A = this chain, B = another copy of it.
Amino acid sequence: MPSIKVAILGFGTVGEGVYRILQEKREELKKSTGFTVDVVSILVKDKMKKRTSITDVQITDDFRDILNNPTIDIVFEAIVGEEPAYTYLSDAIEKGCHIITANKKMFAKHGPALMKHAEFRNVQVGFEATTAGGVPIIRTVTNLLAGDRVKRIQGILNGTSNFILTKMRNEGSSFKEALLDAQQKGFAEADPSDDVTGMDAFRKLMILSSLAFGQQPDWDEVPVIGIDHLQAPDLIDASKEDYRYRHVADIRLNENGKMQGTVGPALIGVNHPFFNIDGVDNAVIVETEYLGSLTLIGPGAGMYPSGSAMIADLLHIIRQHEAVLIPN
């Protein structure tokens, strides 16, 4: 049976999720695609760290070990931050590898360039896991675009913010208390500023904007407000009136053909699809010309949801490039 060789860059929550699913679903993947998928190399920060679950895989802290391995077909990237991730993926594309990324910070900024580069080299870029975790919003919008036209996208795109708002409303916690709880539960980073200032949601919105409209607004012209100034009593008062505060990212093309984006807290009424999105879930509403309004709700992050989004990208790439992936 032909084999597809993959490398994983970064072995945090998401990278490990990809590795685990590839092991657990080895037989199913073989059956459904006709390929075995073999992880041959994993790029880590500290290669001395004990990883008892991994066998028969090169563990390296030098990306050149991966770049110089001519057998690798596909590179999964689950590093945090713009660099060196962008350079790594750029090099991988140049070498003719397909890439699958979960790195929203890198992709919001460098996604358009990577896509062009990949087109030129005739390889694919999977980025489902960059936006809304396990919610298949990238694939859904991609499918819609060919025969329909997207008019607007709104989303609850940051699970940490949504968890904090939910806790403040339900338990009357202060922002600080709720944030601490999110950190203790592993939903928020030690430095949570990207989440609570709205920057993380903003970046995901820019990824959706590139996808749906083929362009991004001028970043400076998008007002970005976080949840860090909301007070518990305001949330509880709103709740009594059948409203809830949600942190909403919103992008549309206005009548003059100009991109308009906003990111910030919004009061949501009881009949709105965002009303009952609690905890770390994400939700996205896509408005199109023909379909009307489509809402997707699901887990915003996590080892298996994000890993499973990357595996969905893998399957898509295999289907598109089946003939080429059979080794010569």
Binding site for B on A (CB under 8 A): 21, 25, 28-29, 32-33, 134-136, 139-140, 143-148, 270-273, 275-276, 278, 288, 290-299, 302, 304-305, 307-308, 311-312, 314-316
Q: Is the CB of B147 within 8 A of A311?
A: yes
* A271-B276, A308-B148 known; A291+B139 contact, CB < 8 A: no
Sample 23 A-B pairs with CB under 8 A, ordered by A number: A28-B147, A32-B145, A134-B290, A134-B292, A134-B294, A136-B140, A136-B144, A146-B312, A147-B312, A147-B315, A148-B308, A271-B276, A275-B276, A276-B276, A290-B307, A292-B302, A292-B304, A293-B298, A294-B296, A294-B297, A295-B295, A296-B296, A296-B297
* A273-B276, A275-B276, A276-B272 known; A29+B146 contact, CB < 8 A: yes
Closest partner residue, chain B, to A285 (CB atom): B297
Q: State the CA gap A297–B297 with chains docked (Å).
A: 9
Closest partner residue, chain B, to A304 (CB atom): B290
Q: State the CA gap A270–B298 with chains docked (Å).
A: 17
> Cβ of A272: which chain B residues have Cβ within 8 Å of it?
276
Q: How many copies does the complex hold?
A: 2
Q: State the CA gap A210–B276 with chains docked (Å).
A: 30
Q: Is the CB of A147 within 8 A of B308?
A: yes
> Cβ of A33: which chain B residues have Cβ within 8 Å of it?
146
A147's contact among B271, B293, B298, B314, by CB below 8 Å, is which?
A: B314
Q: State the CA gap A29–B139 with chains docked (Å).
A: 18
* A147-B312, A276-B270 known; A292+B299 contact, CB < 8 A: yes
Q: State the CA gap A291–B295 with chains docked (Å).
A: 17
Q: Is the CB of B146 within 8 A of A136?
A: no
Q: Is the CB of B290 within 8 A of A21?
A: yes
Q: State the CA gap A251–B29 with chains docked (Å).
A: 25
Q: Is the CB of B295 within 8 A of A147?
A: no
Q: State the CA gap A311–B25 with chains docked (Å).
A: 32
Nearest CB on B from A250, distance (A): 18
Nearest CB on B from A166, distance (A): 10
Closest partner residue, chain B, to A289 (CB atom): B304
Task: List 8 A-B pairs, minimum CB-CB distance, nearest first.
Answer: A295-B297, A290-B308, A147-B311, A294-B298, A290-B304, A32-B146, A134-B291, A292-B299
> Cβ of A315: which chain B residues have Cβ within 8 Å of it?
143, 146-147
Q: State the CA gap A288–B21 with chains docked (Å).
A: 13
* A143-B315, A147-B28, A147-B314 known; A136+B278 contact, CB < 8 A: no
